Amino acid sequence: MLKRTLFFSKSSRLSTRDDQLIIELKETGEKHQAPIEDIGFLVLEHPQISFSMPLLDRLMSNNVGVVFCNHLHMPSSMLLNLDGHHLQGELFRHQLSATGPLKKNLWKQTVEGKIRNQARLLEKLEIPCHGLSAMADQVKSGDSTQREGVAARLYWHSLFGDTFVRERHGPHPNGLLNYGYTVLRAAVARALAGSGLLATLGIHHHNRYNAFALADDIMEPFRPFVDEVVYHIYTGDPDNEVLDIERKKALLELLTRDVVFDRNRRPLMVGLSQTTASLARAFSGEQRKIIYPLLE
């Protein structure tokens, strides 16, 4: 079932009754409610939002990703269910015992998926690809020849011009990309938890301070879906750097966008669970292929 993403930018009181999310707007006293089982994400942006502990308990029991925004209105942290799968202990053991060759193979598949989707986006936008598509077939185990980095330089210069550099604190439209990637990262972390995997243990990313290394790995082939939304926002008004509610809404709606997995069409949020479930099966030895979507 497609889950809803709820975005809160006004002062609110959030509580629960009868498995419903109860929303009270503090300024007007207006009340709304929504079934908790229908919610995939809560994005909390306003500094004067209060919520009850019973609500958090029900949200975690339903694997709802609760995303908190900082004073700059950017997603900065999240709550995740730590007991989201009935075989979680067994899956953790498979993940912990994954061999180096297996992880290198999984990273090879991930980089291939990312480059293919980058090439498909440029083709869709009728931007010259500069041989990007063929580069996906050149990726070796563990991406030992750094095809990801070479492809990235060609891709970003093609998408946003020769002077563009993808940097977290770089100029516009880096801010839009940051917001979209943070939302995507949260969605991947939620799907990993739902599949019984530990997001901290990456197959490639391994910074000791990174609590979501595996999410950073698995989100790579999904990044071009964010890039497409940002491209249309940016080219529609390139001088406007304001990340307003409408632009945030467009980026949050990415989670409900239909994507294609092996000729089957499903919302991205649902498809993420298919990807993470296939990763869990790869760790357990049931299969060796991660199922990633193709951008169309």
Q: How far apart are CA 23 and CA 85, in angstroms?
A: 29
CB count, 10 Å around CB of 161? 8
DSSP-assigned letters across all residues of 12-49? EEEEEETTEEEEEETTT--EEEEEGGGEEEEEE--TTE
Instruction: Output the average pLDDT for the chain.
Output: 91
Give the angle 286-291-296 at the CA atoms, nearest 5°: 165
The pLDDT-based confidence of 215 (bands split at 50, 70, 90) is: very high
Q: How far apart are CA 14 and CA 207, in angstroms?
A: 35
Provide the residue count of the chain.
296
Partnered with residue 35 across adjacent β-strands are: 20
pLDDT at residue 101 greater than cutoff 70: yes
CA atoms within 13 A on the CB side of 204: 20
Partnered with residue 65 across adjacent β-strands are: 41
Name the more confident of 159 and 69.
Answer: 159
CB count, 10 Å around CB of 222? 26
What domains are there in the chain, each with its CATH number? 4-79 (3.100.10.20), 88-284 (1.20.120.920)
The answer to whether the CB of 5 falls within 8 A of the CB of 40 is: yes
Task: Work out the average pLDDT over 283-289.
Answer: 92
Distance (Å) of CA 161 to CA 80, 100, 208? 38, 38, 34
**pLDDT at residue 164 in the model:** 94
pTM value is 0.88
Nearest to 261 by CA among 294, 287, 238, 222: 294
What is the CA 246 to chain-centroid distance, rounded? 19
What is the CA 159 to chain-centroid distance, rounded? 21
Helix, strand and coil in the chain, % to nearest 5: 50, 15, 35
Nearest to 234 by CA among 125, 160, 152: 160
The answer to whether the CB of 63 falls within 8 A of the CB of 84 is: yes
Classify residue 146 as left (phi > 0), alpha (psi -120 to 50) or beta.
left
**pLDDT at residue 208 in the model:** 72
Give me the residue label for tokens 């989100």. Answer: 219
| Each residue's pLDDT tens digit, 102-128 | 999 999 999 999 999 999 999 999 998
